[in-house]
Each structure stands twice: as structure tokens, then as C-alpha cells.
Amino acid sequence: MGVAKLKSALSDNAWTDDPDIIAPWLVEWREKYFGNTPLMVMPETTEEVVKIVNICRDAGLKIVPQGGNTGLVGGQTPQGEILLSTRRLNRIRSVNPVTNALVAEAGVTLQNIQGAADDAKRKFPLSLASQGSCTIGGNLSTNAGGVHVVKYGTTKDLVFGVEAVLPSGQIYHGLTDLRKDNTGYDLSRLFLGAEGTLGVITAASLKLFPKPGHLQRAMVGLSSPADAMKLLEQCRQGNSLTMFEVMPLIGLELVLKHIQHQRDPFDAPYPWYALIDWEVGDEAMGLHLAETTLTSALEQNLIQDAVIAQSETQAASLLALRENMSAAQKFNGGSIKQDITIPLDHIPEFFIIADKEMEKLIPGCRPVGFGHFGDGNIHYNIAQPEGAVKEKFLSHWNEISEAVFDIVDRFGGSISAEHGIGIMKRETLARRADPGKMALLRAVKNAIDPTNMMNPRVMI
């Protein structure tokens, strides 16, 4: 009844039940989650979202919002619910260089937002490997992190406010470019990191920043995570450091072996590598900063070698080595993946303890720990032993995950850094989170979505 009413209420191009069209949007990128839906709706306006929500509410139908389908914890994959795709909500409504604000609808890709900011001689600093396909609505809903958190913060730090359709069918009008508004709760932030459980984000007012004169990139070879953390302290002197990414030799080797057109910038292998960005006024300042900082680090034996980008092409080639890290691991057999945060001063100790624990649990397994060391976000992935049966190895997912989370808890870290909770970590959150936090999460959910219509299987 409700599905038929949706079809009759919407224009022909705003819905489909064709299984071939829907199929790509029912498979999670890592092929860990597979879904099903009776109907995919594709609204083009906020008013169409209101219409869909009202029909679904009256008919008792549940909704799963989805952006670019790049999520990694199953939160965007329906299991019988209506799939609401935001990809046709794809207009940039305004760009205001005076207030440094850009208003974009939920289905605009991150890459297009970056381009619109650049056209206005501004910068939107959120940067992810999936930026060509991920959408800002999904970025907001998961509070995405990326490589520039060390300077600019996570997505929630880059937002003035949002427009969202509530389960009641009301529109929350939170779009603003005011930097000071002290009139009660900051309600827009409820939707940031909520993973679609409180409503459908339809648009957002985003913060822009002055476009830097020059971005200086360098890559260094290191002996250990401990040396990486000492180097981080030297690199973040002042306010120029924007990226500090660390990756192990095994990760770089996978990229060089399996991703086309990648080249090793060093003449010899090193156990670890760091990719570093500084934003400065001009090229001369960038080269001077990089040369001064890295020469000092070489003299202290913190780094073994360094490559300083001399052109935009070389800088892009260095970044590609990091951005292809996740894709390259698909060729490494089964991989049990964790997205965690560790306090910066405990990262080296975490690797020592976690690697030993993984070897004890799965002899011969191959840890691939990499990520955003500048903000403590580690992607700690465990690849199967050479020659192991993939399915048998992946059957240990829960056991491995719990062992990693035990270590994370010991250091006061977080079981989810930037990918969200989704389906994957829902039960883990319920067991490990502070009871007071869980009570507040449930209270907010029940107050805004009492019938559990919005993304009903996710997070809580």
C-alpha cells in the first residue's frame, strides 16, 4: 500500500523498482554488507523528501538514507526498508566569499564542493580518498574525518548549520552563515554523526577558508611509529601543518604492486613512511620550511630519507601512494579492518601491543596499520596469513575486533574514529559505551523519531 502510494505520488524519474538499477546501491564497497529494498526513491527537492517521509510514516514504512554509498560500516545498506538516495539533491545553492559560506544540497559530491570553493578563491578543507563519489550529506551524517583534521577538524567543525527533514515531516531550517548565534541548543549538530537516525539531511551551510598561497608536500622514510610521533611534534610547530599521514612498508608495497602508474619515490625501502603537508604563503616559504624541518630531523636520526615535492605533479604522485592504500589491500586477501582513535602519546605503544596480540591470535597474520597520525586516527587492518583460506580467516572478525577494542579501551581511545557505528559496531557500542551516554543517545532518538522510522537498525 505504502510503496504503491509512493510510486503514484512521485514523478517517474524520482523512483525505481528495477532491480538492475538498484543493485549497485545495495552492495557496500568492501562487499561485507548486501541489502534489499522494495523501492529506491530519488527526490530532487526538499519538498519531495517531505512528501516521501510523510507517506512512509503514515504507511509504517522505514527509510534508509544513502548518499554516495561509500560508507564502511553498513549504515547505508537497506534490509527491506525504503532506500532514499540523495544523489539528485545535487545543487550548490550559494557561495558567499564575504561570509566564507557555501550552501550545498546533500547529494553534491565532496569534489564538486571543493571545486566550487576553489572557483571562489576559497578552500573547503575536507579531503577524502573517495571525494569523487562520496556526498556531503553522507560526510555530515558520519562526521567524516579525512587527512586535514590535524588543522581544520572533522566535518562537524566545518559546518554552520543544516537543513533536514524530520520524521514528523517538518523541515528543520538550520541553514545559516552566522558565526555567533547564542539562542539555545545547537540543533544542527544533532544531525552530524547521527548516521541518518534522526532525519534526512537535505542541505548544509559549510565553512570556507582562505585559499593558501602554496601547499608544500614531502614524504619521509622512518624506522618506527615512535620516530613518527617525534617528527610530528617538530612538523606542527606554528600553524602550517595540515596533513601528517603514516603508513607501513607493507602498505606501500601493496600500492606499488597492484595500483597502476605508482612509483616508489625512494631508492631503498624503509619500515615506515610519513606523508606531510604544510600550507604556507608561497613556494619559497614552503621549500624553506620543509628543508629546514627535515634536515633537522635527518640530523637527529628521526628520519632516514626525505623527498620534497618540487611540483604539483610530484605532490599529486606522493599523495596517490596514500590515497590508494585502502584499494590496494583488496589484493591482499581477507582483511579485518578497524577504524580507531588512540591518544597521540600512546600510538607507538599501541602498535607494539596490538601487533603482538594479533600474532598470538592468528599466527602469521599481517597487520597493516596506517592513517591520520596527526589526529590519532589509525586504520588498523589485519590481513590474512599468506596462503590462508579467506573465508576461514574472516570468520575471526569478531574475535579480532574485540581484542583490538580491548587495547583501545585500555588507552582511553575510541572504537570508531571517522567511519561511524552503522550496523557493524552497534552491539559493540552498546556494550562498551558509558551507560549515561547510551541513555542520552536513546532519549534523543526516541524524542525525535519515536517510531524508529529513520535508519532503524543503525547505531542504537
- What integer pLDDT is reported at residue 238 of this predicted model? 85
In this prediction, residues 272-301 reach a mean pLDDT of 97
- What integer pLDDT is reported at residue 26 of this predicted model? 97
Model confidence band, residue 123 (pLDDT cutoffs 50, 70, 90): very high
- Residues whose CB falls within 8 Å of the CB of residue 204, separated by 6 or more in sequence, listed in order: 103, 104, 106, 136, 137, 140, 159, 160, 161, 162, 163, 175
* Dihedral (CA of 148, 152, 153, 155) sign: negative
d(CA 458, CA 460): 6
3-state class (DSSP) for residue 340:
strand
Name the region of 66 (left: φ>0; alpha: ψ -120 to 50; beta: rest): beta
d(CA 348, CA 340): 14
Are the C-beta atoms of 195 and 236 separated by less than 8 Å?
Answer: no
Instruction: Set out the domains of the chain in order of their start, with CATH numbers.
Output: 2-85 (3.30.43.10), 92-210 (3.30.465.10), 214-326 (3.30.70.2190), 333-419 (3.30.70.2740)
- pLDDT per residue over 424-457, tens digit each? 999 999 999 999 999 999 999 999 999 999 999 9
pLDDT at 1 over 80: no
